[in-house]
Amino acid sequence: MTEKIENLNKELSLTFKRLSKYSNQEINFKPNSKKWSIGENMYHLWLTEITTEKYIRKKTSYPDTLINVSKIAKLRLKLLKLIFFLGLKFKAPKIVVDPIPENIDLQELKNKWLKSRDSFEILINNLDEEILKKGILRHPLAGRIDMNMTLSFLLSHFIHHKKIIHKLEKKINL
């Protein structure tokens, strides 16, 4: 699990470093009204992470209600990773898209994200090993997944959006 957290931290750091060369106006540039800007993609990723942490905090406060992860959930998560790898898109749950501000201040988002990432890591490190193996997150497509699967999803999701962000960067530089 430590390796997955380190990979998430590395991806986040590299992405913010790469995006630091752009102004907030460029970060908020939308190629058309139906597509998200770089800032909106980043904000969505952050919302996904903080919503995940809040859900896990709530669920793990009632450890007796946690269930085991099913084989079907493992299979569904692999399918979801394949969908991300192929670059297919689907509508995100409302909780991780609403509300996304129209104008994102990248430095402000970075500061919030680093703070929330620290909080998430502390949560993970303080949970009992047996709880981490239970279905602590109910993913809308995969179902109940454990912490290892959750971190794997978050990393795949981040990389999926990173590809979208790189495409958007090319449109800024036209």
Helix locations, the chain, DSSP H:
2-19, 24-27, 38-60, 71-86, 106-126, 129-132, 147-172
pLDDT in tens, the chain (174 residues): 789 999 999 999 999 999 999 999 999 999 888 889 999 999 999 999 999 999 999 999 999 999 999 999 999 999 888 888 888 777 777 777 778 898 999 999 999 999 999 999 999 999 999 999 999 999 988 899 999 999 999 999 999 999 999 999 998 865
Q: What is the pLDDT of residue 86?
A: 84
If we measure between CA atoms, which residue out of 67, 57, 82, 53 comes closest to residue 141?
A: 82
DSSP code string of 31-49: SSTTS--HHHHHHHHHHHH
* Partners of 139 in the β-ladder: 143
Task: Tell me the whole-structure pTM to 2 decimals.
Answer: 0.93
Amino acid at 42: M
Amino acid at 59: K
What's the CA gap between 146 and 137, in Å, rounded? 7
Residues across the chain: 174
